[in-house]
Structure 1
Amino acid sequence: MTNSPTLKEVARRAGVHVTTASRALNPATSSLVNSATIRKVQAAARELRYQPNAIARGLKTARSMSVGVLLPDLTNPLFPPIVRGIEDVLAAAGYTTLIANTDHDPDRQLALFDTLRARQVDGVIAATARRDDRLFIEAHRYGVRIVLVNRRVDGSEIPSVVGDDQHGVAMAVRHLVELGHTRIAHVAGPQDTTTGRTRLRAFRQTLDEAGIGADPALIAVADEFTEARGAKAITTVLNATAPPTAVVAANDLIALGCLDVFAERGLSCPRDVSLVGFNDMPFVDRLAPPLTTVRVPHYQIGAEGARMLLERLGDPELPAKSITLPVSLVVRKSTVRPPG
C-alpha cells in the first residue's frame, strides 16, 4: 500500500506554502485565505486524494472534531431533516457527526451518552430530552457542551432550538373553530416531554379563548409519538358518549393512527370527522385525504442547533439561550365543516 499524500505534497502541487494549504483546508481558518487560493488548494487535495489527519488536528486543538447526536427514534420521519441540518452546518465547520438512537429508553440514552463522551466528542446535540431529564441537567452543570433540539427541559438553562408548539396548536384549533366545530378532541403526546405538554396546554387554552372549553372526555394521551399509540388513544375518545367532529393530533404519526381507527369504524375523514396533524412530515400530502397539519422547520431547527453548539465551543462563557422558530398551518383536505 502506498503512503497517504501529505499536506506538504498538497501545498507543493498548489504552489503555496504549507501553512497556507493548512488554513485553506480548515473551515475554521479558511477565512484567512483568498477564495482563488482556496479553490487551488482544494483542487490539489482532490487530485492527490488527500484526507486531513483528524487525530493530528485534534491533538493541536484539544478537540476530536466530532459531535454526538442523540435521537429518540430513527424511524420517525421528522428526524432526518433535523439531522441533515445538523450535519450540513457541522460538516462545513470540519466536524464529524456521530448519530445514536435511544429508542425512547432512558437507560439506553444514558449508555449511549456515556459512549459518546468516552469517544471524546466535543459536544452533544440531543432530541431525546424529557421535561425532567437529570442526565442532561447534570451534564450541562458539569460543563458538557449540550444543545437540545425539538424539545426542552423544564426549569433548566440548557441551550435549545424548538418550533413554536404553542402557536402551532392554536392555529390548528382556531382553524377548526372557524369551520364551525365545537366538539374538538385532542390526542396528546407523552406528558413527560415538553412537546406533548405544551401542545396539550395550548389546545385547552385556545378552546377556552374561543368560549368552547375542552371536554375531558375528548382528550386522550398517547404515551409515545407513534401510530400505534395514537390508534389506542383515539379509540377511547371515539367511545365517548358524544364523539368529536374534529381531532387535533399531537403529531402526524398519531394522526396516522387516528386514520387507521376511523377506517376500522367506517368513519370517513373528513366527512364524519376532520383531522389535523403536527409536523408536516414527508408524504402526508399524499394521504387519502391529504392531511391538514402544522409545518415545522425541522431542517432549520437542526441547523440552528448546530450553529448554537459551534458558538459555545468557540466561547464556553457564552450565556445560554433558547430559540423558538415560527411554524405555519398547511390546510389540505382532511378538514371541512362539521356534518349536519
Structure 2
Amino acid sequence: MTTKSDTRTVTRVTIREVAAAASVNASTVSRVLNPATRHLIGDEVVRRVLAAAKTLGYRQNRLAAALRGGQSRVIGVCLPDIENPVFPPIVCGITEALAAEGYGVLIANIVGKVKDQERLIEQMLERRVDGLVLATAARQDPLVRRCILDGVPLVLVNRGEDGGQVPEVVNDDFLSMRLAVAHLVGLGHTRIAHLAGPQRIATGLSRLQGFQIAAQQHGVAGSVVAEAAEFTREAGRAACEQLLDAHRDVTAIVAANDLIALGCYEVFAARRIACPGAISVIGHNDMPLLDMLNPPLTTLRIQHREMGRQAARLLLGRIATPSAAPLRITLAPELVIRGSTAAARAVSRKAAGVGAA
C-alpha cells in the first residue's frame, strides 16, 4: 500500500533550468540539444550544457517540439516481414543515414489485410513522423496512393510500384538474372527453371522478366517457370514440388530469393535429390549464414545497407523539397558462387520424356 509520504510529484525539468545551471541563455541550450545546430556553439559551452542536462535529468519533449516546429525528426519505416533476414541491414542503413542528420526511426511490421495495414500507417502518422520508408509496397498499392493523396513524404526501398510516382531504391533485378543465367549456361545447363516470386510485387515481376530475357539472350529454349505464392521458404517448397512434378528434366533452378531456395533444399532432402549433382540452385539476396548450408548456396548479393542509406537520403531530400521529381536509384548486385551450382548432369531420355508413349 502506498502512503501519502511515499507519493512524489514528478516535475519535468525545463530548458530554462538547464540554461541557469549551465550559465547560458535558453536559446543556446536549444541549439546545443538540436544536432542540426549544435555545430554553431563552441565545444566548451556544448560540454557544459550537456553536462547540466544530464545532471538535472532533462529529457526533450519531442512531441511538443513537433507541435511547435512542425517536425518530429522521426521517420517511420514499414517492413513486410520483420523476421526476414533481408531487412535488418536495410534498416541499419536507414538508421545510420538518418542519425547523422539528427533523425530517429520508428519501425512497424506491416502485415495483414489492407485495412489492418492502413491502421498501422495511421498510427505512424498520429505519432507525427516526418515521412515514411516503405519496404512493403505492392505494384499497385493503396497505402502508397493514400500517402500521396495525404502529402506524406514517401520513399520505397527494395520495392517499386507501377506508377513511378514516388522515389525508389531498388536492386537491378534484370542484371541479377543475367548473372545467374550466364553462370548456369557456362556450366552447361540448358534446362533451367525459375521459381518466381509473387507477381503482385515488383521484385517478383522484374526478376521473372529478367530471367525470361536472359534465357532468351542465351538461347535457353528449355526454360520453365513456376510461381511461389510468397517470398517464403514454405511457398518455395510448394512451388519446387510443383515444378519437379511437371518438369523432371530440370537441371538448374534460379530462385527469386534465398528463402524460396531454402524451400528447394527441403524438397531435395525429402526426395533424395543431390544438389548440385542432380540439380543446381541459385538464390537471391545473400542472407546471413548461407555459407553454412550443405551445400553453401550460390546467390546474388544485394547492397542492402547501401539501399537503406540511399532511401534515407532520398526521403530527406523529399522532405526538404516536396515538389522535386521522384528519383529511382538502382544498385548493382554481385554473383556469389558457392557449392550449390556445378556442371550440368546428363539428362536421360526417360527424364526428358523422349520416347514416351
TM-score (normalised: structure 2): 0.87
Paired AA for residue 158 in structure 1: V
Q: Secondary structure at the match of 1:329?
A: strand
> Paired residue for 1:244, among 242, 246, 250?
250
Correspondence for 1:300? 306
**1:237 touches 1:243 (CA, 8 Å); kept in 2?**
no
1:323 aligned to 2:329?
A: yes
Q: 1:316 to 1:241 in 2, by over 3 A?
A: closer
1:32 aligned to 2:59?
A: no
**2:19 touches 2:25 (CA, 8 Å); kept in 1?**
yes
Query: Could you report, residue by residue, the CA deviation over 1:158-210 in whole angstroms, capped at 9, with x for unpaired residues?
Result: 11111111111211111111111111111000001110000000001001111
> Paired residue for 2:194, among 186, 191, 208?
186
1:169 aligned to 2:177?
A: yes
Q: Secondary structure at the match of 1:120?
A: coil
Paired AA for residue 70 in structure 2: A
Q: 1:164 to 1:30 in 2, by over 3 A?
A: farther
1:266 aligned to 2:272?
A: yes
CA distance in 1, matches of 2:29, 2:247: 74
CA distance in 1, matches of 2:228, 2:44: 56
Compute the displacement of 1:28 (Å): 2.4
CA distance in 2, matches of 1:31, 1:306: 22
CA distance in 2, matches of 1:174, 1:322: 26
Correspondence for 2:341? 335
Q: Name structure 2 gaps, 5 residues minimum.
A: 1-7, 347-357
1:136 aligned to 2:144?
A: yes
Compute the displacement of 1:57 (Å): 1.4
Q: 1:135 to 1:55 in 2, by over 3 A?
A: closer
> Paired residue for 1:55, among 44, 60, 63?
63
Identity of aligned residues (%): 46
Alignment of 1:143-162 (within 5 A): 143-162=151-170
CA distance in 2, matches of 1:33, 1:325: 39
Deviating more after overlay: 5-14 vs 50-59: 5-14
**1:163 touches 1:326 (CA, 8 Å); kept in 2?**
yes
Compute the displacement of 1:58 (Å): 1.1
Q: 1:56 to 1:115 in 2, by over 3 A?
A: closer
Q: Secondary structure at the match of 2:283?
A: strand
CA distance in 2, matches of 1:163, 1:46: 44
CA distance in 2, matches of 1:77, 1:138: 28
Q: 1:285 to 1:14 in 2, by over 3 A?
A: farther
Query: Which has the larger Rg?
Result: 2
Q: 1:112 to 1:188 in 2, by over 3 A?
A: same
Q: 1:41 to 1:229 in 2, by over 3 A?
A: same
TM-score (normalised: structure 1): 0.92
